[in-house]
Structure 1
Amino acid sequence: MSDARVTDLPEGGLGQPGKKTRSPAGSAKLSEVAILAGVSEATVSRVLNRKYGVSARTREQVEDALRQIGYERSLKGEIVLVLVPGLKTPFFGEMCNAIESELSPHGLRAVIGPVLPGSVYERDYVEAFVDTGIVAAIFLSSSNTLTNADDSARALLESRGVPYVCVNGAFAAGNSPVFSTDDWRAAELAVEHLYGLGHRRIGMSAGPVGNIPADRRVEGFLNAMDTRGIDGAEDLVLRHHFSVDGGRHAADALLDMDATAIVASSDDMALGAIRAITRRGLRVPEDVSVIGYNDSFILEFTAPPLTSVSQPADHLAQAVARTVVTMVQNRAVRTDEIFMEPTLHVRLSTAPVRAD
């Protein structure tokens, strides 16, 4: 385990400011931290080892004292739990790989927990790994993306003093760093591209209500349509699950409303829209244009290759990993939400609107 464990330091200290090594001579001891924090040495030990039985206020007092003396936790061999809604979507697999690659040079190892966001499985993962000593957690589009989800997993991490980072949405009751793709901008990029091709009956196959990224994309879509003077855009927004079937059902309804282009909230939904279009004997993009969201190299090989808005996976992973390392080392971080720029990758699923 980490050499931050107090049991490794029966006679020594906690290390010089800015150092990861410890020397008994001239270094801060548990007793000094206890005095500075106004608690017992046993309490300092429990905080360092992330044990039960310490109130949030007392834990913060000890953490403040550790920061004042410049103590950094050692990172070697430590585990970071990544909670993700499955790995079938290429974006999540790419993000997990990128996060692991960024953490590895710092001696951290990512353990991936595929969960249904906000479910009992999410809390089960956290309970299991908190007891075995994780140093941080990452909510990668998990319960942090749902407005009314059970956030007991977050509460458990906070009660144990385990830092966490959120991706693509923040907990209403949480206070952690958040890194998100600018979903309003993502919708604007899609509408801008289609509008430039002459489309005016642009529909949106959106994710479910209460999903923070989906709600933001809908808001961005409606703003983009309103800015261009297109009325009635609200009627052209259909909400379904992030799946091929969800995209197919939404597209069927949008085609009945004479949509000439569809902006989908995921690549799966976009592929479902293409299925609905071709089943009607229509063609993509000659009759209807389609844009997806998330982007993957696999989209180069669909028929036709799918135009998609790309999330900045590498930049998100780098920011998340840097922040995790900083938090584990007991240094202060920003806790506001930071937005990153998406990119539109134009392929062959979009074309100028039909002349008729």
Structure 2
Amino acid sequence: MTKKIRLADVAAVAGVSTATVSRVLNAKSTVATGTKQLVLQALDELGYERPDALRDRSDDRVGIVAPDLNTPSAPEYIQELVDQLSLRDYAPILLTHSSAGGTEKYLQMLVKQNVSGVIFLSGVANESDYDVRRYLDEDERQIPYVTINGRNPNIGVPDFSSDDVGAVKDSVRHLYHSGHRSIGLITGPERFRPAQDMAMGYRQAMMEMCPDTDQTVLHSHYSVESGGRATDTMLDLGVTGIICGSDLLVLGAIRQIRQRGLRVPEDVSVVGYDDSPLMAFTDPPLTSNRQPVRQISSAAVNTLVDLMKGGNPPRVPFTFRSELITRESSGAAPNQSQF
């Protein structure tokens, strides 16, 4: 049974006031480091068990909360984050949606692990900002965290994201200058901020390049099967240039185009997003937007380390430009409809 702490006893041993002991026990940041250490030593001498907030935190642990590892860009980001953290002598603890069983559960797990900070990858925090604040912001230790590709003004923490708006604009312009006018976008669920930004970039570029052409945006799950179903709809509408919000969607698109007896890119051009390592070896090699994974990961880790050490970096979104890598899945528009 935990012995109840008597403030007066601790204050007497530490040589401080009971008010100071109370502030230390409640993890208030207004207490000087030396004074806090005196109180902790007094607790130990008197045989009291330190409260959770005052136990030695595992300063070398950082949580990484990621989406399902089947998401094309997730493994690349995770590997880069692990490398960046290791260079700084931090040990990553990786949790995914599938392994943690839900937002509340994985946040509880991280708090119990006494992590010093958390990195949320690919919008994991976007649908659960209340839970994030409850378990991290409102935790008595004030665990700092940052997000990658998860910009959310309701959370108000540093975010490091690819320029999804600019990337889709580049894709539209690429297809337009290849002669395409009927261009469509297949992207993720509308509730995700990256999908919203991609749709915005698409509409802006279409209004700029071909304002008289119908705009076609389809939201779907990030999967090969969903990409195929959405592509079926695109082909029925006579679209000749398809932009996909992830490389998984592109793989489904190419498969469906071929099942319809059409060719890539002779009949239909496709452009992906992520430029996952294997996309250069698909058939045909995929035109895709490459995210600056290393730069984003490095900036996120640097900022988190700054926060963990008591710094106060800007709590604003940082945007990084993607690069359109042109390969063989996109080409000149067909002379006439083949549908």
Unaligned regions of 5+ residues in structure 2, if any?
A: 1-9, 34-55
Asked whether the 8 Å contact 2:81–2:298 carries over to 1, the reply is: yes
Hey, what does 2:224 align to over in structure 1? Answer: 244
Hey, what does 2:48 align to over in structure 1? Answer: none
Q: Which moved more, 1:168-177 or 1:324-333?
A: 168-177
List 4+ stretches of structure 1 deviating above 6 A: none
Asked whether the 8 Å contact 2:265–2:330 carries over to 1, the reply is: yes
> Residue by residue, what CA displacement relative to the aligned partner does 1:71-103 show, whole Å, maximum 9, x if unpaired?
xxx998521111111212341111111111111
Cα distance in 1 for partners of 2:290, 2:163 equals 11
Aligned-pair CA distance for 1:301: 1.4
2:263 pairs with 1:263:
no
> Residue by residue, what CA displacement relative to the aligned partner does 1:138-162 show, whole Å, maximum 9, x if unpaired?
110143344xx46313321011200
2:181 pairs with 1:188:
no
User: Greater CA radius of gyration, 1 or 2?
Assistant: 2
> Residue by residue, what CA displacement relative to the aligned partner does 1:259-314 show, whole Å, maximum 9, x if unpaired?
01100011000111111100010000000000011112201111111111111100
Unaligned regions of 5+ residues in structure 1, if any?
A: 1-9, 11-28, 48-58, 67-73
Hey, what does 1:16 align to over in structure 2? Answer: none
Q: Which moved more, 1:213-222 or 1:168-177?
A: 168-177
Cα distance in 2 for partners of 1:254, 1:139 equals 33
2:54 pairs with 1:41:
no
Equivalent pairs, count: 301
TM-score (norm 1): 0.78
CA RMSD of aligned residues (A): 2.7
Hey, what does 1:140 align to over in structure 2? Answer: 121
SS at match of 1:112: strand
Hey, what does 1:351 align to over in structure 2? Answer: 331
Cα distance in 2 for partners of 1:154, 1:321 equals 20
SS at match of 1:151: helix
Cα distance in 2 for partners of 1:190, 1:30 equals 67
Cα distance in 1 for partners of 2:289, 2:317 equals 21
Percent identity of equivalent pairs: 32
1:95-134 to 2 correspondences below 5 Å: 95-115=77-97, 121-134=102-115
Of residues 136, 143, 146, the one that matches 1:165 is 146
Cα distance in 1 for partners of 2:129, 2:300 equals 23
Of residues 71, 79, 88, the one that matches 2:61 is 79
> Residue by residue, what CA displacement relative to the aligned partner does 1:311-334 show, whole Å, maximum 9, x if unpaired?
110011000110111011111111
Instruction: State the one-letter code of the partner of 1:151.
Output: Y
Give the 3 Å change call, closer, same or farther, for CA 174–244 of structure 1 in structure 2.
same
> Residue by residue, what CA displacement relative to the aligned partner does 1:33-89 show, whole Å, maximum 9, x if unpaired?
x99xxx633433553xxxxxxxxxxx5x539x77xxxxxxx9985211111112123
2:310 pairs with 1:330:
yes
SS at match of 2:151: coil
